[in-house]
Amino acid sequence: MTDKKAHLTIDGINTTIELPIYSSTIGPDVIDVTSITKNGFFTFDPGFMSTASCESGITFIDGEEGVLLHRGYPIEQLAVSSDYLETCYLLLNGELPTPAQKEEFTAAIKQHSAVDPSIANIIKSFKRESHPMAILCSAVAALAAVYNDEIDITNEASRKLTAYRLIGQMPTLSAMVYKHRQGEEFIAPDDSLSYAENYLNMTFGTAGKAPNVSKTIAKAMDRIFVLHADHEQNASTSTVRLSGSSGTNPFAAIAAGISTLWGPAHGGANEAVLEMLEEIGSVENIEACVARAKDKTSGFRLMGFGHRVYKNFDPRAKVMKQTCDEVLAELGLENDPLLAIAKRLEQIALEDPYFISKKLYPNVDFYSGIIMKAIGIPTEMFTVIFALGRAVGWYSHWDEMVSSPYKIGRPRQQYTGSPKRDYPQK
């Protein structure tokens, strides 16, 4: 908080409205506009382009500079030197764990990775061809039913247990969604494996057979989870906060976040990237695709390019690109036709004046889609993996909100409908 103030004058109002300004640790300070309703106005900011909806100490983004920090640590350093569970601990607790704390946390997550048998029945009741995000959303919402009587959102220990359950069960649920669609038997979690290995084994393993997971692929998977762990007040996280602000069950709030993530402008972009690459079909068709993306009347956008916040580069994309090259080399896929289209598209877009002038760079979804395709994950599962990684971010934001005094989220509107009128007399 500072002594700085903004002063607002409005035509027709004699007094100047004084608005307090609060300091951020880094990034823009915020003008507190809550008092302007007393003067008969609302602020108007569709798409929340300049509205800070909350105070938060979890993640910082500077889109112009391509900076992403979790609890102050740069994402590039976490991606290379940390791992997913350590990053989860950091997001949830604000500090990196000591070795003993990390061991305890890892053990707690593993202990809570098995799902209630009722969830298996719910997943099995879906048609095989159902979209995996629809199944995942329902499965996570069903956790609200399983644990509703045990959750006390005002109790810290109860919230901690909920975090263990969510982070522990997301890989299990995601793998079950995949296995159901494949018509294969579910595989139980194996606590001798790391978090990413366990997910890969439950997804690609065969029931009754010993796990056989490549270390390089598990490392790439873990990095995908780290790079998706949190991203400040994006659409899905804001949904979780808004939903949670009513005091609802946290699993229900997170199911709402999963629904939001599904959309192609958000998490669904990695799926859309692969669909676009498949539609392009061959390197010769790339120019036409780029021309279509530049034509406003086409309604088509180059999927995996551009970002609401990053207008320089997406720091996650840089690390993801490196992992992408490693995975393709490990799998001997450097010459895969689809990946050749992706590489050429990236090159053309990075050199094209339209994309340069609009600051449209490949985002994290561009490269994560390519990696997951190379690993053998079906396109429709990509957003499920995003959700798996992001669960801790959603949870941390919900937890941060409910641990301090908070209000139910209730945006206002500029009403442009009919003035009051009387119902016609009959």
Q: Write out the residues near ligand CMC by the rule CB under 6 A.
A: 231, 234, 265-267, 269, 293, 301-308, 358, 360, 363, 365
- Residue 70, classed as helix, strand or coil, is strand
Q: Which residues contact 128 (CB under 8 A, 6 or more apart)?
A: 180, 181, 183
Task: Specify the residue, 112 or 266, whose C-beta has the smaller distance to ligand CMC.
Answer: 266
Residue 90: count other Cβ atoms within 10 Å of its Cβ. Answer: 23
* Rounded CA separation 28/286 (Å): 40
68 DSSP β-pair partners: 61
Shortest gap between Cβ of 360 and ligand CMC (angstroms)? Answer: 5
Rg (CA), the chain: 23
Where are the strands (E) in 276-398, listed by range?
Answer: none
Shortest gap between Cβ of 246 and ligand CMC (angstroms)? Answer: 24
Catalytic residue (one of 83, 222, 230, 365): 365
Shortest gap between Cβ of 109 and ligand CMC (angstroms)? Answer: 25
Backbone angles phi, psi at 21, to 5 degrees: -115, 130
Task: Specify the residue, 70 or 307, whose C-beta has the smaller distance to ligand CMC.
Answer: 307
> DSSP letter at 304?
T
Task: Specify the residue, 302 or 385, whose C-beta has the smaller distance to ligand CMC.
Answer: 302
Task: Specify the residue, 234 or 238, whose C-beta has the smaller distance to ligand CMC.
Answer: 234
Catalytic residue (one of 112, 131, 307, 397): 307
Strand 67-70 and strand 73-74: pairing? antiparallel
* Rounded CA separation 263/162 (Å): 26
User: In this chain, which residue has its C-beta nearest to ligand CMC?
Assistant: 306
Shortest gap between Cβ of 137 and ligand CMC (angstroms)? Answer: 17
Task: Specify the residue, 199 or 355, whose C-beta has the smaller distance to ligand CMC.
Answer: 355
Q: Assess contact for 258 and 251: CB atoms under 8 A.
A: no
> Is 307 tagged catalytic?
yes
> Is 45 tagged catalytic?
no
- Residue 236, classed as helix, strand or coil, is helix
Shortest gap between Cβ of 273 and ligand CMC (angstroms)? Answer: 7
Shortest gap between Cβ of 129 and ligand CMC (angstroms)? Answer: 25
Q: Which residue pairs from 185-188 have beta carbons closer than 8 angstroms and sit at least 24 positions apart in sequence?
A: 186/120, 188/114
Backbone angles phi, psi at 232, to 5 degrees: 60, -145
What the block records as the tokens of 167 is 């982070």
Shortest gap between Cβ of 48 and ligand CMC (angstroms)? Answer: 11
Task: Specify the residue, 70 or 159, whose C-beta has the smaller distance to ligand CMC.
Answer: 70
Task: Specify the residue, 70 or 180, whose C-beta has the smaller distance to ligand CMC.
Answer: 70
Shortest gap between Cβ of 353 and ligand CMC (angstroms)? Answer: 13
Shortest gap between Cβ of 181 and ligand CMC (angstroms)? Answer: 23
> Is 190 tagged catalytic?
no
Task: Specify the residue, 113 or 368, whose C-beta has the smaller distance to ligand CMC.
Answer: 368
Task: Specify the residue, 215 or 358, whose C-beta has the smaller distance to ligand CMC.
Answer: 358
What the block records as the tokens of 88 is 């989860």
Catalytic residue (one of 266, 314, 397, 399): 266
Q: Mutual orientation of helices 84-93 and 99-111 as an angle, nearest 10°?
A: 100
* Rounded CA separation 144/272 (Å): 30
Instruction: Say if residue 30 is exposed, middle or buried (CB neighbours under 10 Å; 0-12, 13-18, 19+).
Output: middle
* Rounded CA separation 231/228 (Å): 7
Sign for the pseudo-dihedral over CA of 171, 175, 176, 178: positive
* Rounded CA separation 401/19 (Å): 24
* Rounded CA separation 299/353 (Å): 19
What the block records as the tokens of 15 is 């007094």
> Which positions are catalytic?
266, 307, 365
